[in-house]
Amino acid sequence: MARKADAADTVYQLKITLAGTEPPIWRKIQVTGDLTLGDLHRIIQRVMEWMSCHLHEFDIRGIPFGDAELERGPFGDPVGDQEAVHLIELGLTKGMQFLYTYDFGDDWEHIIEVERVLEARPGGRYPLYLGGERAAPPEDVGGTWGYEAALEILKDEDDPEYADWREWLGEWDPDYIDEADIKAWMKAF
Protein backbone atom coordinates (compact mmCIF):
# COMPACT_ATOMS: atom_id res chain seq x y z
CA MET A 1 0.00 0.00 0.00
CA ALA A 2 1.20 3.50 -0.79
CA ARG A 3 2.25 5.78 2.02
CA LYS A 4 -0.21 8.52 2.97
CA ALA A 5 2.25 11.23 1.87
CA ASP A 6 2.61 9.56 -1.54
CA ALA A 7 -1.16 9.38 -1.90
CA ALA A 8 -1.63 13.07 -1.09
CA ASP A 9 1.11 14.00 -3.60
CA THR A 10 -0.42 11.97 -6.44
CA VAL A 11 -3.03 13.81 -8.50
CA TYR A 12 -5.38 12.19 -10.97
CA GLN A 13 -6.95 14.28 -13.71
CA LEU A 14 -10.27 12.64 -14.47
CA LYS A 15 -12.73 13.26 -17.28
CA ILE A 16 -16.24 12.18 -16.32
CA THR A 17 -18.53 11.70 -19.32
CA LEU A 18 -22.22 10.87 -19.02
CA ALA A 19 -22.67 7.99 -21.47
CA GLY A 20 -25.41 8.18 -24.08
CA THR A 21 -25.62 11.97 -24.26
CA GLU A 22 -25.06 13.84 -27.51
CA PRO A 23 -23.46 16.28 -27.51
CA PRO A 24 -21.69 14.78 -24.53
CA ILE A 25 -22.15 16.01 -20.98
CA TRP A 26 -18.79 15.94 -19.21
CA ARG A 27 -16.75 17.32 -16.33
CA LYS A 28 -13.00 17.45 -15.74
CA ILE A 29 -11.52 17.38 -12.24
CA GLN A 30 -8.25 16.80 -10.42
CA VAL A 31 -8.24 14.77 -7.20
CA THR A 32 -5.53 13.41 -4.92
CA GLY A 33 -4.82 9.75 -4.34
CA ASP A 34 -5.65 9.95 -0.63
CA LEU A 35 -9.35 10.42 -1.40
CA THR A 36 -11.68 7.44 -1.09
CA LEU A 37 -14.12 6.27 -3.72
CA GLY A 38 -16.79 7.64 -1.37
CA ASP A 39 -15.14 11.06 -1.65
CA LEU A 40 -15.09 10.70 -5.43
CA HIS A 41 -18.81 9.85 -5.39
CA ARG A 42 -19.54 13.05 -3.43
CA ILE A 43 -17.40 15.09 -5.85
CA ILE A 44 -19.12 13.61 -8.91
CA GLN A 45 -22.51 14.40 -7.40
CA ARG A 46 -21.46 18.00 -6.84
CA VAL A 47 -19.91 18.62 -10.24
CA MET A 48 -22.96 17.09 -11.92
CA GLU A 49 -25.14 19.24 -9.64
CA TRP A 50 -27.11 16.22 -8.46
CA MET A 51 -28.44 15.62 -4.95
CA SER A 52 -27.09 12.13 -4.15
CA CYS A 53 -30.56 10.80 -3.42
CA HIS A 54 -30.18 7.51 -5.33
CA LEU A 55 -27.96 4.47 -5.08
CA HIS A 56 -24.75 4.37 -7.07
CA GLU A 57 -21.89 2.03 -7.86
CA PHE A 58 -18.36 2.15 -9.20
CA ASP A 59 -17.16 -0.68 -11.45
CA ILE A 60 -13.39 -0.86 -11.47
CA ARG A 61 -11.95 -3.76 -13.46
CA GLY A 62 -15.21 -5.66 -12.94
CA ILE A 63 -15.23 -5.16 -9.15
CA PRO A 64 -18.24 -3.24 -7.76
CA PHE A 65 -17.79 -0.61 -5.04
CA GLY A 66 -20.48 1.44 -3.35
CA ASP A 67 -22.14 2.13 -0.03
CA ALA A 68 -21.48 -1.24 1.59
CA GLU A 69 -24.29 -0.75 4.13
CA LEU A 70 -26.99 -0.11 1.52
CA GLU A 71 -26.02 -1.73 -1.72
CA ARG A 72 -25.69 -5.21 -3.12
CA GLY A 73 -24.23 -6.33 -6.42
CA PRO A 74 -26.38 -7.71 -9.26
CA PHE A 75 -26.61 -11.15 -7.63
CA GLY A 76 -27.12 -9.93 -4.08
CA ASP A 77 -23.40 -10.06 -3.30
CA PRO A 78 -21.91 -7.34 -1.12
CA VAL A 79 -20.09 -4.54 -2.90
CA GLY A 80 -16.66 -3.28 -1.92
CA ASP A 81 -16.83 -0.49 0.66
CA GLN A 82 -16.21 2.79 -1.17
CA GLU A 83 -15.16 4.45 2.10
CA ALA A 84 -12.36 1.92 2.65
CA VAL A 85 -10.65 2.21 -0.74
CA HIS A 86 -8.35 5.13 -1.58
CA LEU A 87 -7.76 6.13 -5.18
CA ILE A 88 -4.02 5.48 -4.87
CA GLU A 89 -4.81 1.82 -4.09
CA LEU A 90 -6.61 1.29 -7.40
CA GLY A 91 -3.52 1.40 -9.59
CA LEU A 92 -4.98 4.12 -11.79
CA THR A 93 -2.90 4.85 -14.87
CA LYS A 94 -3.19 7.30 -17.75
CA GLY A 95 -5.80 6.12 -20.24
CA MET A 96 -7.53 3.77 -17.81
CA GLN A 97 -11.33 3.94 -17.70
CA PHE A 98 -13.85 2.80 -15.12
CA LEU A 99 -17.58 3.22 -14.63
CA TYR A 100 -19.77 5.06 -12.16
CA THR A 101 -23.51 4.39 -12.31
CA TYR A 102 -25.94 6.65 -10.49
CA ASP A 103 -29.66 6.01 -9.94
CA PHE A 104 -30.34 2.39 -10.81
CA GLY A 105 -33.76 3.34 -12.19
CA ASP A 106 -32.49 5.98 -14.61
CA ASP A 107 -29.10 4.24 -14.92
CA TRP A 108 -26.88 7.27 -15.47
CA GLU A 109 -23.65 5.58 -16.51
CA HIS A 110 -20.53 7.71 -16.37
CA ILE A 111 -17.28 6.79 -18.07
CA ILE A 112 -14.40 8.04 -15.96
CA GLU A 113 -11.12 8.33 -17.83
CA VAL A 114 -7.79 8.93 -16.16
CA GLU A 115 -6.38 11.63 -18.43
CA ARG A 116 -3.21 12.34 -16.47
CA VAL A 117 -1.34 11.26 -13.35
CA LEU A 118 0.55 14.21 -11.88
CA GLU A 119 2.44 15.35 -8.83
CA ALA A 120 0.54 17.76 -6.61
CA ARG A 121 1.56 21.38 -7.08
CA PRO A 122 3.26 22.84 -4.00
CA GLY A 123 0.52 24.67 -2.13
CA GLY A 124 -2.10 23.42 -4.61
CA ARG A 125 -5.65 22.89 -3.35
CA TYR A 126 -7.51 19.76 -4.35
CA PRO A 127 -10.01 18.63 -5.44
CA LEU A 128 -10.01 21.00 -8.37
CA TYR A 129 -12.78 21.58 -10.92
CA LEU A 130 -11.32 22.23 -14.39
CA GLY A 131 -14.46 22.62 -16.47
CA GLY A 132 -17.24 20.86 -18.28
CA GLU A 133 -19.92 21.04 -20.92
CA ARG A 134 -23.70 21.12 -20.56
CA ALA A 135 -25.82 20.75 -17.45
CA ALA A 136 -26.45 17.27 -16.12
CA PRO A 137 -29.98 15.95 -16.61
CA PRO A 138 -32.40 16.74 -13.79
CA GLU A 139 -32.90 14.08 -11.12
CA ASP A 140 -35.66 11.56 -11.94
CA VAL A 141 -36.10 12.66 -15.55
CA GLY A 142 -36.22 9.02 -16.71
CA GLY A 143 -32.74 8.20 -17.93
CA THR A 144 -31.30 9.09 -21.31
CA TRP A 145 -34.61 8.47 -23.08
CA GLY A 146 -36.56 10.74 -20.69
CA TYR A 147 -33.86 13.39 -20.86
CA GLU A 148 -33.92 13.50 -24.67
CA ALA A 149 -37.74 13.62 -24.65
CA ALA A 150 -37.66 16.53 -22.17
CA LEU A 151 -35.19 18.43 -24.37
CA GLU A 152 -37.47 18.01 -27.40
CA ILE A 153 -40.54 19.16 -25.45
CA LEU A 154 -38.70 22.22 -24.11
CA LYS A 155 -37.86 23.32 -27.66
CA ASP A 156 -41.55 23.75 -28.51
CA GLU A 157 -43.69 26.03 -26.35
CA ASP A 158 -46.75 24.74 -28.23
CA ASP A 159 -46.13 21.16 -27.13
CA PRO A 160 -49.01 20.06 -24.86
CA GLU A 161 -46.50 18.89 -22.24
CA TYR A 162 -44.36 22.05 -22.32
CA ALA A 163 -46.04 23.85 -19.40
CA ASP A 164 -45.87 20.78 -17.13
CA TRP A 165 -42.20 20.20 -17.89
CA ARG A 166 -41.31 23.88 -17.49
CA GLU A 167 -43.14 23.97 -14.13
CA TRP A 168 -41.34 20.82 -12.93
CA LEU A 169 -37.90 21.91 -14.15
CA GLY A 170 -38.21 25.58 -13.24
CA GLU A 171 -35.39 27.65 -14.69
CA TRP A 172 -33.21 24.61 -15.48
CA ASP A 173 -31.12 25.32 -18.57
CA PRO A 174 -29.54 22.31 -20.33
CA ASP A 175 -26.46 24.36 -21.23
CA TYR A 176 -25.78 26.06 -17.88
CA ILE A 177 -23.28 24.79 -15.30
CA ASP A 178 -23.01 26.81 -12.10
CA GLU A 179 -19.22 26.69 -12.15
CA ALA A 180 -18.80 29.37 -9.46
CA ASP A 181 -20.86 27.30 -7.04
CA ILE A 182 -18.96 24.11 -7.90
CA LYS A 183 -15.58 25.84 -7.41
CA ALA A 184 -16.71 27.30 -4.06
CA TRP A 185 -17.81 23.85 -2.90
CA MET A 186 -14.49 22.34 -4.00
CA LYS A 187 -12.57 24.95 -1.98
CA ALA A 188 -14.52 23.95 1.13
CA PHE A 189 -14.14 20.18 0.56
pLDDT of residue 4: 56
Average pLDDT over residues 159-164: 94
Average pLDDT over residues 128-155: 93
Q: 104-123: per-residue pLDDT in tens?
A: 888 999 999 999 999 999 99
- Number of domains into which the chain is organized: 1
Q: Which of 59, 13, 7, 61 is nearest to 36 (CA)?
A: 7
Domain that holds residue 65: 4-136+175-188
In a domain, 149, yes or no: no
pLDDT of residue 6: 79
Q: How confident is the model at residue 35 (pLDDT cuts 50, 70, 90)?
A: very high
11 vs 80: which has the higher pLDDT: 11
pTM: 0.91
pLDDT of residue 15: 98
* 3-17, 36-50, 80-94: range with lowest mean pLDDT: 3-17
Q: 43-90: per-residue pLDDT in tens?
A: 999 999 998 888 899 999 999 999 877 666 555 667 889 999 999 999
In a domain, 26, yes or no: yes
In a domain, 72, yes or no: yes
Kind and range of the H or E element at 112?
Answer: strand 108-119
| Residues 24, 116: Cα–Cα separation, whole Å | 20
Using DSSP bridges, classify how beta strands 56-60 and 63-66 pair: parallel, antiparallel or unpaired: antiparallel
pLDDT of residue 5: 58
In a domain, 77, yes or no: yes
pLDDT of residue 7: 86
Average pLDDT over residues 128-132: 98
Beta bridge partners of 15: 28, 113
Length of the chain in terms of residues written: 189
In a domain, 94, yes or no: yes
CATH number for position 182: 3.10.290.30
Q: 20-30: per-residue pLDDT in tens?
A: 999 999 999 99
In a domain, 163, yes or no: no
In a domain, 157, yes or no: no
The string over 124-163, giving b where at least 16 C-beta atoms fall within 10 Å of a residue's C-beta and e elsewhere, is eebbbbeebebbbbbbebebbeebbebeebbeeeeeeeee
Q: 169-183: per-residue pLDDT in tens?
A: 888 899 999 999 999
pLDDT of residue 104: 87
pLDDT of residue 74: 54
